[in-house]
Every structure is written in C-alpha cells, then in structure tokens.
Amino acid sequence: MKPWLTIVGIGEDGPDGLSRAAREALASARTLVGGERHLALVEDNGARRIAWASPIAGTIEEICAARPRPVCVLATGDPMWFGIGGALARHVPAGEMRVLPAPSAWSLAAARLGWPLDEVTPVSLHGRPGAAIERFIHPGARLMVLSEDGRTPGVLAARLTARGMGPSRMTVLEHLGGPRERVRTVAAEAFDLADVAALNTVAIDCRAGADPVIRAPVPGLADDAFCHDGQLTKREVRAVTLARLVPLPGALLWDIGAGSGSIAIEWMRAAPWARAIAIEQRAERAATIARNAEALGVPDLRIVEGVAPGALHALAAPDAVFIGGGIGSAGGEQTVRHALDTLAPGGRLVANAVTLAGEAALVALQARHGGELARIAVAHAGPVGAHLGWRALMPVTQWAWQKAWGRRGAAP
C-alpha cells in the first residue's frame, strides 16, 4: 500500500515555512489532524478536521480508520523528535507513512544561541513532571528543555537553585521561528521572568554555586542521597550490583524487596530510557521510594506494593532482576524460580544476602543453576582514639546468573 498518512512538521511561521511536498500533502488531505494551535495555522481546504483528544488513543484510532484515504497530521517541528510521529509509527507501518519534518525547537534554539547540538542534552518535560530534570543537572552541562507550559521555566529555576546551581544561565525562548519570537536570559537564582508563553524552550548553561549538590550519572551515589530506614544497599555494593545487572537502554528491571529503591533508581539513571519496577511490601517504604525517585530525577519509576512471588505475576517480563532481601525466607525459592522463568533471553538475575540463611540459599542456587558467587567486603577508615582504623561493613554474598540468549521460559 502506498503512503496514505503524511505527518507534516510545521513551525510558528505556518504554511510559509512548508516545503512544496508538505503543502501538497495539506491540499490533498481528506482528513486533517492536529492541535488547535496547528489547525489554526492553515486555511480550510474542505478536509475533515480532527483536534487531538486526551488521551490521544481515540484520535489515533480515528486516523487508522481513515486508511487508505489521505490523512495529514500536523505536528510541531520534527514529529520524530519527542513528537507524535513516534506514537503513530507504532500503529502505522513505515511504508504507509511519510514524515516531512520542520526544524525542531531544539534546532531553532541551538541556532539562536550558537550551541552545537552534539554538545547539548535534549530533555522533554512535555507531559512529564519537572523532577525529571534532576538527573541531568551537572556543572558544565548544557541542557535544552522542551517545556510543558509557561510555568516550567520557573520550576526549573527553583530546582537549579535548590541544587546549588543558582548561577546557571537560563535562556527562555518563546514562539521560536514566528513573528512572536522572544528570547530572554536570566540567572536561575534571580529568575523573575513574567508572562512566559506556553510554547517555550529553555536552554540551560549549568554553573555551580558555592556548594552544589553533584550527583554523577554512573552508579554509586552517596548513601545520603537516599531517604531510608536502614534498608539500603550501600554505595560500594550498589555499584558492584549495578555492574552485574548491566543497565541497557530501554531495558526493564524488577527490584524485588526494593527498600529505599536505590537499585531501581540508579538503574534508570544509568541508561537512556531504562525502566524499572520497584516491588515493596511495606507501604511506608513504598512512599519513601517515590520520594527518592522524584528527588533523583526518575519520577516515572513504577512502584508496586506487594509480596513476591505473588506480586510479580501481572508484571511485564524483565530484562534484569535484583533480589535484595528475603532470599533465605519461605517464599525466596519460589521468587527466584519465577524470576528465572520470566527473564527475557540474555537476562540477568543478581541476588544479595547478608545473613547465613541467605548465603546458604545462594550457595544452593548456584549449585543448582550455575552462575557466579562473590563475596563483597568493604571497610571504611574511622577514628580509633587519636588514630584511624578500619571499620568493616557486613560482608555481602552475591549470586549473579544470566539466562542463555537462545532460551525462553523455564530456567534449568
């Protein structure tokens, strides 16, 4: 089937900025879809007009129902760059669809500021909480943020200041590429911009103040970065555990017995689009996980209150599983069995234990299934009278197992 769906990127300059192909797609469309702002930019050519509904699933059904009659969807800038193009591509085969992009908001902002895009981190807060910016705030970083609305720049300024990054330079770019374009720059700690348009992009040149809170993107955040009640995988052990789990882009982790959520949170921070589900039976700890996830920039961490293995049965199959507690308990063996069976091919399971019962369970699991056993012993220097001495943490026994790439279903 020849392409019947055309997705046209359009800027604030309206039809004047469209290519000949885009104008022809508009003229020939029997159905025209877009936001109210997009539809207002183009003249009525007699086509049926559909404004996006919320949620968008219903509108996507209407678009697909129009096949094979020509449909034109209007989108802001580049539809495949954090845009509607990705959602439509999950429903329409590539061979039935044409995408005609315009410059994205990031491209236009980079052009105004003279920032090479390959040195910029693009972040979309459209439809996402402002807390998602936290994982990207580092001294020297250049961030290009697509705002949710006119309040977003103020939210970003407050978060930067709270992190000790108040001197950061924020440039708010409104209605880029159109007659109402406006560009204003201010320090985060002195943010006072009023009447910010809903359609805006924020460029941030991150600069440290006198006492910045710096959180590296690699695993091993300081223990005090997390709120916890003592149920926390300690920093050095956490870093080793994440290395064994191997965070990969888009991969899904089950963090079983999540406690403070530290493993799930660092998994999501370590790889682009990485996903995690934290399974925790205690409500107060689940609430703590939610607070930690927001503070550390992964507010979309999914939290499931429940007890394994029962709480696992309705979850999507994982690419990695971490079991941080209860491995020597009555339900521990069933939890491990379900995890091993459900893991995707090539998936990894890592389990840690500090008790003798837990260690015995891991030794038995290694004997039955293979994998690797390791003991992690960490000591920190501390005062002993007038001198320093080593104070050892409880040693951790760790079992790491990987499913064969060609295997599906039950583990051996």
pLDDT (0 to 100) of residue 406: 74
Looking at the predicted structure, is the pLDDT value of residue 176 above 90? yes
Count of all residues that appear for the chain in the document: 412
Looking at the predicted structure, is the pLDDT value of residue 3 above 80? yes
Average pLDDT of the chain is: 94
- pLDDT tens for 204-242 read 999 999 999 999 989 999 999 999 998 899 999 999 999
Looking at the predicted structure, is the pLDDT value of residue 8 above 90? yes
- pLDDT tens for 315-374 read 999 999 999 877 877 778 899 999 999 999 999 999 999 999 999 999 999 999 999 999
Alpha-carbon gap, residue 127 to 104, rounded angstroms = 17
- pLDDT tens for 177-196 read 999 999 999 999 999 999 99
Looking at the predicted structure, is the pLDDT value of residue 124 above 70? yes
Looking at the predicted structure, is the pLDDT value of residue 298 above 80? yes
Among the ranges given (33-47, 91-105, 323-337, 390-404), the one the predictor scored with the smallest mean pLDDT: 323-337
pLDDT (0 to 100) of residue 407: 67
Looking at the predicted structure, is the pLDDT value of residue 412 above 70? no
Q: Which residues make beta-bridge pairs with 396?
A: 376
Alpha-carbon gap, residue 3 to 119, rounded angstroms = 36
Q: What angle do CA 68, 72, 78 make, to 5 degrees?
A: 130
Write down the domain spans for the chain: 5-102, 106-205, 223-402
CATH for the stretch 5-102: 3.40.1010.10
| DSSP structure string for 69-97 | S-EEEEEES-TTSSSHHHHHHTTS-GGGE
User: Per the confidence metrics, is the pTM higher than 0.85?
Assistant: yes
Alpha-carbon gap, residue 367 to 374, rounded angstroms = 14
* Range 223-402 has CATH code 3.40.50.150: yes
Collapsed DSSP state (helix, strand, coil) of residue 275: strand
- pLDDT tens for 234-293 read 999 999 999 999 999 999 999 999 999 999 999 999 999 999 999 999 999 999 999 999
pLDDT (0 to 100) of residue 333: 87
pLDDT (0 to 100) of residue 54: 87
Domains 5-102 and 106-205 share a fold: no
CATH superfamily of 106-205: Tetrapyrrole methylase, C-terminal domain (3.30.950.10)
